[in-house]
Amino acid sequence: MNTNIIALTTATLLTLACGSESNSPGGTGAGGALGAAGGTSPPTAGQPAVGAGGAINVAGGASGNAAGASSLAGSAGTGGSSSGAAGAASGGAGAGGLGGGNGAAGASHAGAGGNTGVAGGAGTSGVAQALDGVRVDDACAGTADTSVGAVCGHVMLTSSGGSKYVKSVTIAGTAGTTYDVTLRIRGIVEPTKITGGMPVEMTPPSTIQYMGKTWRKVPYTIGGAASASTTDPDYTQWHIGVASPKGDYFLNDYQQTGHYIFKLDYQVTIQMAANTTVTLDGTDRNERQIVNFEKYTIDGIAGSMNYGQFIQINVVSAQPH
């Protein structure tokens, strides 16, 4: 569902006065001047008369699209004029001006009012604000060995001897609306392998070379689950889960595993319904993780804790789908 955001426009009220000037009998008087911005019909020339025509009208309603009025020339008269009143705020018509002076009043037509502006929808800047800066850290326990390919223990272990670090938030938004939320994914991670999902290749070339192997450049996969092999689940699966519409998004699916460490910095767009729960987590089946032995740092955010791993997400934008 799209929510259109339309800014209300306020017409500038301008008042112009027409002075009187005598003509010889039978001369043609000046036509009524065009009103302020954007009249709905062009001005009509004045009818034969001695004096100046009726005064102009001012702009139409202050709300919506301003529509200035036009005026027909008045009957005989020698001068004097007054301005029409401003249109109502709801976009009502501007009142016609009166011809002044010694003769009869000049005929004048009120300008058509502006269309009432459509109210803007709820802003989207705060829809995913709760997600901005969400971070999960898996710090190394004890004194970390930073030699190439080293491992360290998780600070906290599950009852099964592995680890799971989780952070959940609820986004905002207009009920019934689904949003395209663009996230920047940054972190330090080990590789994992997901099966049954849809790997998404976003930036050519789609692969990089690291320590003699070919790896996915952006290890992002939609759906699937940890590999059921003997060893692959022992490498942390970093993941975003969305409750509605239901979705699983894996952030470090390199399609192979081993004692390697990577630095992430990429963007993804995920659909999220208003008021849904979004979870960032890291799940590892065993009691240890790969150390940040490369001592990677990422500009703009805090580094890994005690050479461990982490993911931080920041919101780039949130727009109705």
Fill in the DSSP letter of residue 145. Answer: P
pLDDT at 19: 42
223 dihedral zone (left: phi>0; alpha: psi -120 to 50; beta): left
Closest by alpha carbon to 256, among 203, 214, 311, 206?
214
pLDDT at 202: 85
List the chain residues with pLDDT less than 70. 1-125
Residues 276, 3: Cα–Cα separation, whole Å: 18
Closest by alpha carbon to 188, among 63, 304, 17?
A: 304
End-to-end Cα spacing for the chain: 6
Report the pLDDT value the prediction gives residue 16, as an integer from 0 to 100: 34
Nearest by Cα to 309 from 249, 240, 236:
236
Give the span between the Cα atoms of 208 and 319, in whole angstroms. 32
Say how far apart CA 237 and CA 162 lie, in whole Å. 12
| pTM listed for this prediction | 0.63
Specify burial of residue 114 (Cβ count, 10 A radius: 0-12, 13-18, 19+): buried
Report the pLDDT value the prediction gives residue 268, as an integer from 0 to 100. Answer: 98
Specify the pLDDT at position 146: 98
Q: Which residues pair with 318 in a beta bridge?
A: 181
What pLDDT score does 124 carry?
62
Q: What is the pLDDT of residue 125?
A: 65
The Cα-based distances of 79 to 3, 47, 98, 130, 298 in angstroms read 53, 16, 11, 67, 77
pLDDT digits (tens, 9 = 90+) for 48-57: 444 444 443 3
**What are the boundaries of each domain within the chain?**
1-121, 129-320
CA angle 274, 276, 279 (to 5 degrees): 135
